[in-house]
Structure 1
Amino acid sequence: MPELPSTDADLDRPPTDQDLARLQLTTLLYYLHETNPDNGLVRDKTEPNAPASIAAIGMALATLPVIVERSVVIRKFAAKIARKRLRYLLECPQGPEADASGYKGFFYHFLDIETGRRVWQCELSTIDSAFLFAGALTVATYFDLDSPEEAEIRDLATTLYERADWQWACNGDVSLTHGWRPETGFIPHRWHGYDEALLLYILGLGSPTHPLQRESYSAYTATYEWKKIYGRELLYSGPLFTHQLSHMWVDFRGIRDDFMRQRDSDYFQNSRQATFVQQEYAIRNPMGFAGYGKYCWGFTACDGPGWITRTVGGVERQFFDYTARGAPFGPDDGTVAPWVVIASLPFAPEIVVPTIRNFARMNLGMTRLYGFKPSFNQSYAMDDSPTGWWVTPCHFGIDQGPVVLMIENYRTGLLWNIMRRCTPIVAGLRRAGFSGGWLHQASDPDRRP
């Protein structure tokens, strides 16, 4: 693993390629170790009896090109993994029944890892299905050899993506709903305001079978909030992951939609600004949480100590369980997520690298299986913790993917280069009004992936 820094001066030392390769490898092992070999479903987290997460399965698919290019698994065997996952997902029952795996081409958020059927009466999730589709389109584009085996991957992935009925998911309006439950119908919330749904709309617009209306994207961007925070102007969204997940697949450098053209920016630069805002919030530390500072930040959706109120240093503190933390407007309970810092590596390496090195000194499991623990809280003391404060006991499937994929995009741009050739992504970007940069040279969107 990356060498532990011995002095503060070492924090600013650039990472070697070997440093990043080791951190990337130990993180992506999650998708090899936590996968059911019978069907390819991936556990949501490392908790006994955890179900599969449909988003984690999509991220696992997206890491297959990485494990091939990094010589972890040979191409032939990685292709077998892709085929098994995609075949199984297509065989999973779709329908209005409460115990199906999905409906109208979308999938439930969590599935039983053995049977592939819905658990916990969870929602049919449009956003988690989008991450699955993005992973499927990744392997459809990457495995491009003229062989029956790789042609099958392309056919399976295309079928999985093209059967999703995006118009149905709008429930009579132009914007997308969060999802649906067979017991109660559509969830009464829509994807409005800037967040990870940027990818969701691009995929919906790019569908050749049941596409979103062009107006859907306008409805999404109409609810954006442009703010000036700490002297930086940016499109606001509090949790840092919302500035990253769409970027795992789409290279937004130099391409702009109408909203960004009017502000002389792009979504990549916006994510860079958001990363600096997070660091500045930690430096200012307005709520006085322990540990925050120049090289200890990262506020996002993550696990927490629990829904508990404690008096800490004479101050009554409210702590949270798993929730979407954000900066600078909260919520905030002192919990920091190393994974979300690493996922900002392409945007702001000059502050991410020293922060990673600082985390490396904090006994957060960097050198152990799956890499850094996803979250910790230095304000929440625990006598039985090796650190003396709370550290999450679990790793989560949706936290591992951003680390692996964004390290790779920083190192080589692999995922970005693959998806520049992905027909639905190109078509969706163009229908959303993006232009410029690499998109000007992209292939004809009428050609299938």
Structure 2
Amino acid sequence: MRFFSAVILVSFLLACSNAKKVPATQTVFASKEDEAIFTDVQRATFQYFWDGAEPTSGLARERFHVDNIYPQNDKNVVTSGGGGFGVMAILVGIERGFISRDEGRQRLEKIVQFLETADRFHGAWPHWWNGETGKVKPFSRYDDGGDLVETSFMIQGLLCVRQYFQNGSATEKTLATRIDKLWKEVEFDWYRNGKNALYWHWSPNHAWRMNFAVDGYNECLIMYVLAAASPTHAVPAEVYHEGWAKNGKINELPAGFEDIKLSMNHHNKEGAAGPLFWAHYSYLGLDPRGLKDKYADYWKHNTGHTLIHYRWCVNNLNGYKGYGPDSWGLTSSYSMKGYAGHAPTKDRDLGVISPTAALSSFPYTPKESMAAMKNWYTNKKDKLFGVYGFYDAFSETENWYLPRYLAIDQGPAVVMMENYRSGLLWNLFMSCPEIKDGLKKLGFESPHLAK
């Protein structure tokens, strides 16, 4: 049983819908050593969002480079999506005792103050800001306005914070109320652009020029769930079924590998699976356990997606050095020549392992994720592990080890490791009454909806 971390997932999904119960999560580690490594990795990764945060806004920096080979000149750039993962990480820090409840609340108050005053566009935040001024920093030439996907990642995190503090002290209740106001100000209906779909971007300078109507399947499910659930700017169910699910075409040419068959298409005519962050970002708060609609069983889909990545790396068709059952996981991350969307296909597998892929998959593949984490921590720590946990990516084939971090990769690791450990963020997000209403509106089933 070495490398095993036993998780007890008690799920009572009974045939009678009124008897359904929320799956209980209680992780029992195989050894004290496993638990100590797990906690140390969680603690160090959390520090990216604590000690490593941009000091004026309190938000996560887009990136942080430990090396000085190329001096980093954008340490003031903060990110809405990665920042949303970061506010969830702060809740983990409180629960794990890395910081006190008051310390966490005070940092979250600073973040909310920034979000209240920083640039917004019909309630949606941009992908990037200058953390010192709150002014938008264009992500690309025409992307200088609202980013509804990244905003949704932030809202997912903020709703967890709201639920965490809403029954606390008077000061905590005030924080929860301020977050509720930010949530209600996001104009999801505006981002329809008059269509039965949600558009990723809108700019006051370039309007809808990006012209990116978001359909599935990818990392954006949470945006459609929030849009349906909004108490002030909701969209009808047709937007989900016609825009996201493409009137059922989401199930055509589904992804798969060997005997693993998924239910949804990953934007690939050959049926290949996408990068592994697609199984993480929307599910930091949205609990996939028992989550189903007419298009997918999301626990089965995400677990299958993860196992495809695991098997791909174990089979190692490209013959890269270091791949195996204790070193696996492909996702969008740094690469030898900049940022790349690594995925389990011959052309998109560049020999780069991204630790966040396996770490953020703990709920789906606890045995396989533990094996990778223990190998990296025990045998390669000097090359892979720094002040904020495992570095973003590495390649044994190229002898490439870059001591750099990205917020969008560190955040899911902290949060999904905690969801594996206790279900903390899943239970907080799914306790939101408007989220339950939105899921019902879209035709979802979930054990949480019976509560």
**TM-score in terms of structure 2 length:** 0.83
Name whichever of 362-371 and 331-340 sits farther off. 362-371
Which whole-Å CA distance do the structure 1 matches of 2:320 and 2:212 have between them?
33
Aligned: 1:63 with 2:84: no
After superposition, the CA RMSD in angstroms is 1.9
Q: Please report how far the alpha carbon of residue 428 of structure 1 lies from its aligned counterpart in structure 2 after TM superposition.
A: 2.1
1:211 to 2:211 alignment: no
**Structure 1: runs of 5+ lacking an equivalent:** 1-8, 93-100, 261-265, 307-320, 381-388, 442-449
What amino acid does structure 2 have at the position aligned with 1:257? D
What's the counterpart of residue 255 of structure 1? 291
C-alpha displacement at 1:255, in angstroms? 2.5
Contact 1:192 1:223 in 2 (8 A): no
| Shift in CA distance, 183/423, structure 1 to aligned 2, threshold 3 Å | same
Q: What is the CA distance between 1:333 and its match in structure 2?
A: 1.4
**Partner Cα separation in structure 1 for residue 255 and residue 383 of structure 2:** 36
Identity of aligned residues (%): 26
Alignment of 1:329-408 (within 5 A): 330-360=347-377, 361-363=379-381, 365=383, 367-380=385-398, 389-408=399-418
Rounded Cα–Cα distance in structure 1 between residues aligned with 2:384 and 2:433 = 37
- Larger mean CA deviation between 68-77 and 202-211 belongs to 68-77
Asked if 1:36 is matched to 2:54, the reply is yes
Q: Report the counterpart of residue 184 of structure 2 in structure 1.
A: 162
SS of alignment partner, residue 92 of structure 2: helix
Matches within 5 A, 1:3-22: 10-12=2-4, 14=30, 16-22=34-40
Is 1:433 paired with 2:443?
A: yes
Aligned with 2:396: secondary structure? Answer: strand
Query: In the alignment, what sits opposite 2:424?
Result: 414
Number of residue pairs matched by the alignment: 398
- Distance (Å, rounded) in 1 between the aligned partners of 2:112 and 2:45: 23
Contact 1:126 1:169 survives alignment (8 Å) = yes
User: What amino acid maps onto 2:102 in structure 1?
Assistant: K
Q: Matches of residues 259-338 of structure 1 in structure 2 within 5 Å? A: 259-260=295-296, 266-306=297-337, 321-328=338-345, 330-338=347-355
| Structure 2 counterpart SS, 1:322 | strand
* One-letter amino acid of the counterpart of residue 375, structure 2: N
**Structure 2: stretches of 5+ with no match in the other structure:** 6-29, 66-71, 267-273
* Runs of 4+ with >6 A deviation: none
Tell me, in whole angstroms, the C-alpha distance in 1 between the residues paired with 2:126 and 2:255.
35
1:266-310 deviation per Cα after TM superposition (whole angstroms, max 9, x unaligned): 21121111111111111222233332223222111101111xxxx
The Cα offsets for residues 99-122 of structure 1, whole Å up to 9 and x where unpaired, read as xx2200111111112101111354
Indicate if the aligned counterparts of 1:298 and 1:336 stay in contact, CA closer than 8 A. yes
Question: After superposition, what is the alpha-carbon deviation per residue over 1:200-237, rounded to whole angstroms, capped at 9, x for unaligned?
Answer: 11111110111122111112123424234211111354
Aligned residue type for 2:239: S
Are residues 391 and 210 of structure 1, via their aligned partners in 2, closer, same or farther at CA, if it must alter by over 3 Å? same
Residue in 1 that maps onto 2:68? none
The answer to whether residue 227 in structure 2 is matched with residue 199 in structure 1 is no
CA distance in 2, matches of 1:253, 1:330: 32
Superimposed CA distance per residue, residues 124-147 of structure 1 (whole angstroms, 9 cap, x where no aligned partner): 311111111111111111002353
Report the AA paired with residue 237 of structure 2: R
Equivalent AA in structure 2 for residue 301 of structure 1? S
> How far apart, in 2, do the equivalents of 1:335 and 1:72 lie?
31
